[in-house]
Amino acid sequence: MNTPGRVVIATRESPLALWQAEHVRQILIQRHPGTQVELLGMTTRGEQILDRTLSKVGGKGLFIKELEVALLERRAQLAVHSLKDVPMDLPDGFELAAVLEREDPRDALVSPKFATLAELPQGATVGTSSLRRRAQILARRPDLRAEPIRGNVETRIDKLSAGTYDGIVLALAGLKRLGVTPPHVLPLDVDEFVPAVGQGVLAIEAREADREVLEVLSRLDDTRSRSEALAERAFLRRLGADCHTPVAGHARTDGHALTLTGVVTSLDGATMMRGSAAGSGSEAEGLGRAVADELLAKGARTLLDARGNG
């Protein structure tokens, strides 16, 4: 197999995004010692706009548009993303060339004083960057105040330490990858607090026409994570959902069996619809569509059409 002599990875410049890109860089160097691998750091609109929620300014796709421009202009050969930030439909000419082994997909509650959601006092403020987390928090504790929080992992923890929030909820994978160990980190069980579609998964995007790069990247693909991602993304695509709606979807593999749980929640957490399906990894996308159809049959369209405003 031929390997490119030089590969440039487009990446956001947040600490977590740089960790992820460096992780891929090291894998490529280890497997292809003669290849020169460089990082092209970029600031995206998603990182520039910090005073409004993502649902108000265009969604999570804001985190990858500039990286795709770099690919299109051939300033980079590949881009590394958190899969949960990748829209369901990529622009023409691009594909997800590799889905890497999944890190811990759970959300986590971080609080300097309170070890669990149940311990938070009535009216406590919990910071969260997503409508999904907000809705699931309120479903369990409608008395809490779920307030928006933006910025990278360290910025959010600094805001927590400053007393702006009583607790924050964020992805456990980010804490693990960065080696951040704040006090009182409580992982939230995936059955009780269902993660976002693609949470914990790194994906590599490349141009469809760049066959040499695609061949190299195909060797990095993790079959298990790919099946889980296909199921979760098929579920979200069938619903036609986006960042304006509290939707969660999590697939897990046990041997040859793949199980998908999907959840659609009202913005205030008062209504939660849940569905599930199980089959083999080869049926991943069909399972995703089946769970979406189950929820739509239960009336989830009403919740999906109630667009969020914050």
Please list the active-site residues.
85
Q: What is the DSSP letter of 277?
A: E
- CA nearest to 32, candidates 259, 197, 217: 217
Q: In the numeric block, which tokens belong to residue 205?
A: 């995007």
Partnered with residue 167 across adjacent β-strands are 126
CA distance 14 to 221: 24
Partnered with residue 260 across adjacent β-strands are 251, 277
Question: What is the per-residue DSSP string for 133-160?
Answer: HHHHHHHH-TTSEEEE--S-HHHHHHHH
CB-neighbour burial class of residue 26 (10 A; exposed 0-12, middle 13-18, buried 19+): exposed
- CA nearest to 153, candidates 39, 25, 17: 17
Cβ proximity of 238 and 288 under 8 Å = yes
Q: Phi, psi (5° rounding) for residue 176?
A: -65, -45
CA distance 122 to 118: 10
3-state SS assignment for residue 31: helix
Cβ proximity of 96 and 202 under 8 Å = no
Cβ–Cβ contacts within 10 Å for residue 96, how many?
Answer: 19
CA distance 17 to 10: 10
